[in-house]
A = this chain, B = another copy of it.
Amino acid sequence: MVHGGDVYTNGLLEGRELIDYSSNINPLGVPKSFIDNIGEALDALTRYPDIQYRNVLKGLGEYIGCPQEYFVLGNGAAEIIDLVIACHKSLLIVVPSFVEYEIDAKKWNCSIEYSYLKENINDDMLLKNRYAQLSYDYDDILNKLKNVQGIVLGNPNNPNGNIIDKPEFQKILEYCERNDKTIIIDEAFIEFTGGKQHSFESLVKDYKCLFIIRALTKFFAMPGIRFGYGISSNTYLIKLVKGKQNPWNINSFAEVAARYVLKDELYIRKSKEWIRDERASFLKALNNITFIDKVFLTYGNYVLCKLKGINSDECYKLCFAQGFVIRKADNFRGLDKQYIRLAIKDKDRNKKLIAVFKKLRIENE
């Protein structure tokens, strides 16, 4: 399994209901503001979508607070990641991270350098727990940037959920701005971090080197809708990406969704409340599971765990037998069969998973 979320290969195809902890989707589900307005998409279906997607751009401009010409729209974030990477001949990729960065770079014969996250311990005073933490190696990044045209990194990063420390990153930002290097920041999960303060969106205007990627996929629980976007004040790069796209790449349903869900303040508030509460209690519970050696501090809606006394294949099988699909993390560069990634879901299901984990411990002894 290269990606999470592929519950089709087993389980569902045989008519079995599985609880999917491998894909990181907001458990609050599809926003009602989209369902209520789906009729607009049906009405629009027999027309070609507006090839310039004017209404969507207007909505995005208001949501992000940027001029409309800073945006490029994609058939999911996947398209944007692919095409912005295609604009570079060499890139530094921070790993472990979303595997598509590397797949895309190789596809476009873009030469790759890697910077590895480094591990340290974080005393989470709020939770009164000690968590492991993977952080960006800012010195290593700055050093390696000299040899490449740009960098790709996640904020928060997948699979572990660390975020960029803005003061630490400032030197890199200035260096890239001065030297025409692109900083591609994948913020597909940024809304789960809670506020706007962790995003780089407000810096886009002042730093042409920034290219931020966002999507409706995760936070608005619509991976099936296929809507992602890139943001940059580097209009040359935006034009370059657009030049690689096909006409009408956004479907009518995605167009309607984008126009409504970004303004759905109730959904956004409830989702942020849920993740704040549930992330804290789920991490704490995982920290007490005996076959989990380390729980990594996360700002996302997923948790990376390091196992002990059991490998990820065994853990996957045991969970699967109980109706849970977890994400083996060994295909992330730098990780191995000691690691799994878990989504954070609603309280009920998280409790069920924890109960299963506690049982696994007993069976394993």
Contacts and interface: CB of A to CB of B under 8 A. Distances in A.
Interface of A: 3-9, 13, 20, 23, 25, 29-30, 35, 38, 41-42, 44-52, 54, 75-76, 78-79, 81-82, 100, 107, 221-226, 243-244, 246-255
Nearest to A217: B48
A5 B51 CA distance: 9
B47 A225 contact: no
SS of A interface (majority)? loop
A164 to B, nearest CB: 25
Contacts of A244: 107
Contacts of A78: 246-249
Contacts of A100: 246-247
Closest 5 CB pairs of A and B: A224-B252, A5-B48, A8-B50, A78-B246, A45-B224
A5 B49 CA distance: 8
A130 to B, nearest CB: 34
A51 B6 contact: yes
B243 A54 contact: no
B47 A23 contact: yes
B248 A226 contact: yes
Nearest to A74: B246
Given A225-B252, A243-B107, A246-B78, A25 B46 contact: yes
A192 to B, nearest CB: 15
Contacts of A254: 251
B226 A5 contact: no
A224 B226 CA distance: 13
Contacts of A4: 48
Contacts of A3: 48, 51, 247
Nearest to A249: B75
Contacts of A54: 8, 13
24 contacts: A3-B247, A7-B47, A8-B50, A9-B52, A25-B46, A30-B45, A30-B46, A45-B222, A45-B225, A46-B222, A46-B223, A46-B224, A47-B223, A47-B224, A48-B224, A75-B75, A75-B226, A75-B246, A223-B248, A225-B251, A225-B252, A226-B248, A226-B249, A251-B254
A95 to B, nearest CB: 19
B30 A42 contact: yes
Nearest to A79: B246
Contacts of A29: 46
A113 B352 CA distance: 64
Contacts of A251: 75, 224-226, 251, 253-254
Contacts of A255: 224
Contact of A246 (B13, B42, B76, B250): B76
Contacts of A30: 42, 45-46
Given A51-B6, A244-B107, A35 B46 contact: no
